[in-house]
């Protein structure tokens, strides 16, 4: 068993290292390590049953940590679009999958199982890409994260319902109320434990001031809950998630998460490797056409459904398109469902392999989709406006002009593109200083709030020349680009200079390498939030060590020159 684990961890390290080197999700590297083990038919991997037990622990810890991390506060700003959008998207994708997947040769239950798995997107992959691009707090980023949280929650009813549907024909009617009763009792128990019992127990354990004791108590709670749900005939993983929700109500939730995370990562790596062990290159090659066909159908269905829902819920077409593209992949929790299906003989080995293959393919494509999305949106919008005016009127003009533009007689003002955390404080400063300004934003909620406050605002995409023209950029003194997306930044700069070649352009950026590029495009000042924060910290540290104001100013100036801001 120890030698089996050694082989898995070594190959997982190699797979993870290569995935990181080629800027791919680590999950992909771990699963491909499992594929390597399976294809080489490593005879040393003999304790497969023991490995499956370790993988089961990995799933439990994965869902336990998800329960701890779950936060209703993160849903608050986009709760309507995230909740209704996520719920309707999952149900729509399942319904369409049931209609379409039988054409690929699957029976009804296999189609249902595939559709349920494919309706989920990857929280790990999407949030990592958004974080790297500095767009986690952008409007599309917030919607995607909220949407993904709803999808993650949907895993639990799927784990509960899908096994029941498989035996529906042989299930006596009197057992259905019994199952529902079990679920009701379980949820009531979770509520009582989460509000009353567990927080007090964890307070007592934390008072001992021992990290080891706290870790033991938490792991014991996780597996106690998981064993309890398993004894009730429900999923082992379901209990782990519910235990996480209970712990999330305690004051020690952050400390617990930091303690459990290394343990979760090790066991979940074994889980992802074990997934790949059942997927062989032979299957991929012999079923390549069907895999590509399924992946194409999944991407198109999810893109259209998400796009339509976000548009219907009142958002700009650009926001809808970016969210749609961001959620087209199949997520890691489809692997959890797939493993449940194969371990309980709900699906065949081929259906299991299809789930893994399509998920892997869409995850690999996700970074490319993210990078191309803004450019594709701009190209599609421009092409439809000239060649397909009916489509442009139906999709773009109809949804993007729901807030009527009003003539705004401004001159020598500031145009603020994007009114998030950065833009809102700039607007407040302009108000205090009585500097005229106008906001350009495609978040309809923000636009409505600003109009109620009497602040000049234009609803639309700042990258559109027409929108900037309406914001009187030709008469403006400065334009501030507070949007992190690189492609949008370039379009705003180009259009602003077209309207006013003498305008002062100030642009926000998270990346060192963008500074020279933006200045070459015509930006006078590039503001890097992280660098500005470091200057503020340097100023306070040097003052704390007794340096004079002149010395502090001189050293900060030197750092600015080294950074390219001198």
Whole-number average pLDDT of the chain: 81
Q: Is the pLDDT of residue 281 over 90?
A: no
Alpha-carbon distance of 483 to 486, in angstroms, equals: 8
Closest CA to 145 of 128, 163, 166, 170: 128
pTM of the model: 0.73
| Contact indicator for 316, 460 with CB cutoff of 8 Å | yes
DSSP-assigned beta bridge partners for residue 415: 438, 479
Superfamily classification of domain 414-527: NAD(P)-binding Rossmann-like Domain (3.40.50.720)
Assign 439 to helix, strand or coil.
strand
**The tokens of 220 are what?**
């014991």
Alpha-carbon distance of 112 to 127, in angstroms, equals: 27
Average pLDDT over residues 345-363: 89
According to the model, what pLDDT value does residue 70 have?
63
Assign 416 to helix, strand or coil.
strand
| Contact indicator for 374, 488 with CB cutoff of 8 Å | yes
According to the model, what pLDDT value does residue 164 have?
75
| Contact indicator for 261, 65 with CB cutoff of 8 Å | yes
Tell me how far apart the 2 most distant CA atoms of the chain are, in Å. Answer: 84
Q: Find the Cα–Cα–Cα–Cα dihedral 198, 199, 205, 209, rounded to 10°.
A: 160
Q: Is the pLDDT of residue 199 over 80?
A: no
Q: For 458-499, write each residue's pLDDT tens digit.
A: 888 888 888 898 888 999 999 999 888 888 899 999 999 999
Average pLDDT over residues 411-431: 90
Confidence of residue 417 (pLDDT cuts 50, 70, 90): very high
- For residue 515, CA distances in Å to 201, 244, 374, 487, 518 come to 52, 43, 20, 14, 5
According to the model, what pLDDT value does residue 454 have?
85
Average pLDDT over residues 148-154: 81
Q: Find the Cα–Cα–Cα–Cα dihedral 177, 180, 181, 187, rounded to 10°.
A: -170
Residue with tokens 């949280």: 149
Confidence of residue 507 (pLDDT cuts 50, 70, 90): very high
Q: Is the pLDDT of residue 89 over 60?
A: yes
Where does residue 472 fall: left (phi above 0), alpha (psi -120 to 50 degrees), or beta otherwise? Answer: left
Alpha-carbon distance of 565 to 297, in angstroms, equals: 49
| Contact indicator for 50, 2 with CB cutoff of 8 Å | no
| Contact indicator for 476, 414 with CB cutoff of 8 Å | yes
The rounded percent of the chain whose pLDDT value lies above 70 is 86
Q: Is the pLDDT of residue 536 over 70?
A: yes
DSSP-assigned beta bridge partners for residue 505: 479
Alpha-carbon distance of 301 to 152, in angstroms, equals: 19
Tell me the H-state helices in 74-166.
79-100, 108-118, 123-133, 139-166
Confidence of residue 31 (pLDDT cuts 50, 70, 90): confident
Q: For 163-194, write each residue's pLDDT tens digit.
A: 877 766 555 555 656 665 666 676 677 667 66
Q: Which DSSP state fits 313?
A: T
Q: Is the pLDDT of residue 422 over 80?
A: yes
Confidence of residue 564 (pLDDT cuts 50, 70, 90): low
According to the model, what pLDDT value does residue 76 have?
62
Task: Kindly tell me the burial class for residue 215, based on how many C-beta atoms sit within 10 Å of its own C-beta (0-12, 13-18, 19 or more).
Answer: middle
Q: For 228-276, write each residue's pLDDT tens digit.
A: 777 766 667 667 877 887 777 677 777 777 777 787 778 778 877 877 7
Average pLDDT over residues 445-449: 84
Alpha-carbon distance of 84 to 310, in angstroms, equals: 10
**The tokens of 274 are what?**
């074990």
| Contact indicator for 352, 23 with CB cutoff of 8 Å | no
Confidence of residue 47 (pLDDT cuts 50, 70, 90): low
Q: CB atoms < 10 A from the CB of 363, how many?
A: 22
According to the model, what pLDDT value does residue 306 have?
94
Q: For 331-344, write each residue's pLDDT tens digit.
A: 878 888 888 888 88
According to the model, what pLDDT value does residue 479 have?
94
Average pLDDT over residues 133-138: 75
- Residue ranges covered by each domain of the chain: 2-374, 414-527
Second-level CATH architecture of 2-374: Up-down Bundle (1.20)
* Strand arrangement, sheet containing 478-481: 457-459, 437-441, 414-417, 478-481, 504-508, 525-527
According to the model, what pLDDT value does residue 40 have?
66
DSSP-assigned beta bridge partners for residue 481: 417, 507
| Contact indicator for 146, 75 with CB cutoff of 8 Å | yes
| Contact indicator for 336, 57 with CB cutoff of 8 Å | no
The set of residues, in sequence order, having a beta carbon less than 8 Å from that of 217 and lying 6+ positions away, is 201, 202, 205
Q: Is the pLDDT of residue 526 over 80?
A: yes
Average pLDDT over residues 129-145: 79
**The tokens of 473 are what?**
């950029």
Opening angle at CA 73, ends 122 and 402, nearest 5: 80
Q: For 92-121, write each residue's pLDDT tens digit.
A: 999 999 999 999 999 999 999 999 999 999
According to the model, what pLDDT value does residue 415 have?
94
Which helix (H) or strand (E) covers residue 301, if one does?
helix 288-312
């Amino acid at each position: 068993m120890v030698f089996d684990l050694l082989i898995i961890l070594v190959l997982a390290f190699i797979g993870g290292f290569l995935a990181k080197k080629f800027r791919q999700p680590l999950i992909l590297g771990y699963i491909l390590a499992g594929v390597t083990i399976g294809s080489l038919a490593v005879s040393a991997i003999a304790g497969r049953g023991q490995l499956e037990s370790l993988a089961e622990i990995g799933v439990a810890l994965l869902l336990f940590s998800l329960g701890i991390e779950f936060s209703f506060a993160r849903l608050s700003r986009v709760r309507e679009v995230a909740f209704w959008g996520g719920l309707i998207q999952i149900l729509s994708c399942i319904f369409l999958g049931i209609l379409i997947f039988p054409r690929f040769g699957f029976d009804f239950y296999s189609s249902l199982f595939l559709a349920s798995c494919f309706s989920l997107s990857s929280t790990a992959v999407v949030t990592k890409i958004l974080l790297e691009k500095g767009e986690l707090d952008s409007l599309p980023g917030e919607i995607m994260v909220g949407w993904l949280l709803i999808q993650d929650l949907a895993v639990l009813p799927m784990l509960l319902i899908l096994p029941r549907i498989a035996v529906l024909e042989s299930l006596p009617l009197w057992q259905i109320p019994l199952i529902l009763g079990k679920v009701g009792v379980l949820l009531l128990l979770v509520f009582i434990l989460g509000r009353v019992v567990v927080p007090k127990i964890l307070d007592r354990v934390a008072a001992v001031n021992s990290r080891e004791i706290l870790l033991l108590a938490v792991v014991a709670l996780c597996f106690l809950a998981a064993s309890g749900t398993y004894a009730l005939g429900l999923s082992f993983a379901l209990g782990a998630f519910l235990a996480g929700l209970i712990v999330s109500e305690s004051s020690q939730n952050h400390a617990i998460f930091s303690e459990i995370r290394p343990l979760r990562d090790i066991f979940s790596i074994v889980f992802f490797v074990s997934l790949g062990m059942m997927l062989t290159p032979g299957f991929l090659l012999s079923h390549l056409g069907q895999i590509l066909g399924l992946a194409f159908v999944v991407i198109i269905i999810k893109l259209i459904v998400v796009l339509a829902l976000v548009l219907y819920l009142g958002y700009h077409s650009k926001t809808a398109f970016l969210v749609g593209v961001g959620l087209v992949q199949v997520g890691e929790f489809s692997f959890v469902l797939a493993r449940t299906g194969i371990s309980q003989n709900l699906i065949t080995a081929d259906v299991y392999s299809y789930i893994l293959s399509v998920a892997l393919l869409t995850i690999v494509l996700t970074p490319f989709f993210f990078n191309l999305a803004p450019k594709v949106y701009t190209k599609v919008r421009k092409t439809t406006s000239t060649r397909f005016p009916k489509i442009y009127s139906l999709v773009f003009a109809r949804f993007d002009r729901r807030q009527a533009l009003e003539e705004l007689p401004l001159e020598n003002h500031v145009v603020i593109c994007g009114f998030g955390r950065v833009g809102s404080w700039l607007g407040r400063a302009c108000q205090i200083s009585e500097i005229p300004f106008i906001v350009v934003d495609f978040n309809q909620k923000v636009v409505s709030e600003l109009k109620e406050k009497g602040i000049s605002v234009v609803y639309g995409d700042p990258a559109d020349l027409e929108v900037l023209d309406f914001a009187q950029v030709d008469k403006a003194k400065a334009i501030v680009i507070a949007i992190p997306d690189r492609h949008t930044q370039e379009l705003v700069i180009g259009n602003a200079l077209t309207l006013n070649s003498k305008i002062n352009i100030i642009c926000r950026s998270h990346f060192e390498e963008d500074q020279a590029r933006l200045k070459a495009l015509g930006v006078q000042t590039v503001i890097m939030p992280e660098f500005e924060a470091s200057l503020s910290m340097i100023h306070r540290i040097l003052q704390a060590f007794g340096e004079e104001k002149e010395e502090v100013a001189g050293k900060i100036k030197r750092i600015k020159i080294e950074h390219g801001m001198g």
